[in-house]
């Protein structure tokens, strides 16, 4: 899919994003980020760049934790599958 352009406004700044993703999906991401920044502003972070940076760090933390959880779950599934394979092999013998 060829890269398209999506026009966004983030923290009052007009941005053009070049992406292969669905434009509405990109707008949804931008809205989510704006909501996170707005929540930080309500909690007392007044400097927009500081709020944006904190929101980005928070979202990155969520991503890393989700990846760790998925890897742990993958390990659990693999261990269970290994145990099931061993049981099946015993029954076949």
pLDDT, residue 88, reads 87
Instruction: Give the span between the Cα atoms of 74 and 29, in whole angstroms.
Output: 27
Counted domains in the chain: 1
pLDDT, residue 21, reads 96
The count of other CB atoms within 10 Å of the CB of residue 34 is 16
Under the banding of pLDDT at 50, 70 and 90, the label for residue 1 is low
The count of C-alpha atoms lying within 13 angstroms of the C-alpha of 15, restricted to the half-sphere facing its C-beta, is 12
Domain range for 64: 4-92
Instruction: Give the span between the Cα atoms of 65 and 58, in whole angstroms.
Output: 11
Instruction: Give the span between the Cα atoms of 66 and 59, in whole angstroms.
Output: 11
pTM: 0.75
Number of residues in the chain: 93
């Amino acid at each position: 899919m060829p890269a398209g352009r999506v026009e966004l406004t983030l923290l009052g700044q007009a941005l053009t994003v070049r992406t292969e993703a669905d434009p509405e999906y990109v707008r949804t991401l931008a809205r989510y980020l704006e909501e996170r920044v707005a929540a930080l502003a309500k909690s007392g972070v007044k400097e927009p760049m500081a709020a944006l940076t904190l929101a980005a760090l928070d979202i990155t933390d969520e991503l890393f934790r989700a990846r760790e959880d998925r890897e742990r779950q993958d390990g659990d599934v693999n261990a269970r599958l290994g145990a099931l394979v061993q049981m099946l092999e015993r029954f076949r013998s």
